[in-house]
Amino acid sequence: MFSRVLAILGIIALASILVVAGCGKKPAIEEKIEPPTQPETPPTDTITEPKLPDEGTVERLTEDQFRIVYFDFDKYNLRPDARTALEFNARLLKKNPDVNVLIEGHCDERGTVEYNLALGEKRAKSAMDYIKSLGIDASRLRIISYGKERPVALGHDEASWAKNRRAKFTITSQ
């Protein structure tokens, strides 16, 4: 009886992870799983571990499953789409309690290096504060600002700028 409940729970967990993975921009399958960590003959003691489901290896969380949070020019307040993205990211973090993240704040190229460095940190902090308010423990979250130093789009128009004004989640440990 008990084992059946466990099995059902396992299926539900696996299914929800697959759903979550499906929502991400890239399928999780693309992430390379380090096979060399497993010796040719698996030691028996790992099999006796309680973590029987293979979610830890197959469904390892990847950075690009986190949604990127975008901002308006010279602003660090969260737009509705930013909140939606952060709520998604918070769900990912809840499902992966061992994952810690670094939230990077970025800016577009307009304005000075110095001001943008501070603005980028405010963006990262806005994102972090909202994630915390959704129940994620502060100890799992760190922030850094790269100001305007690491653009993803290199054009000098609003289309590029909009892509660069962002808060990006990167995994620091899992």
Binding region for another protein (CB under 8 A): 74, 110-115, 117-119, 121-122, 125, 144-147, 149-150, 154, 156
Measured from the CB atom, the residue of 67 and 148 that comes closer to another protein is 148
Q: Considering the complex, what minimum distance in angstroms separates the CB of residue 121 from another protein?
A: 5
Backbone Cα Rg of the chain: 19
The H or E element spanning position 56 is helix 55-58
- Paired tokens of 17: 């992870």
Measured from the CB atom, the residue of 92 and 119 that comes closer to another protein is 119
Q: Considering the complex, what minimum distance in angstroms separates the CB of residue 164 from another protein?
A: 15
**How distant is the alpha carbon of residue 162 from its chain centre?**
20
Q: Considering the complex, what minimum distance in angstroms separates the CB of residue 113 from another protein?
A: 5
Q: How far is CA 93 from CA 14, 30, 51, 132, 170, in A?
A: 15, 20, 19, 11, 12
Q: Considering the complex, what minimum distance in angstroms separates the CB of residue 118 from another protein?
A: 4
Measured from the CB atom, the residue of 15 and 144 that comes closer to another protein is 144
Measured from the CB atom, the residue of 13 and 118 that comes closer to another protein is 118
105 pairs with which residues across the strands? 145, 167
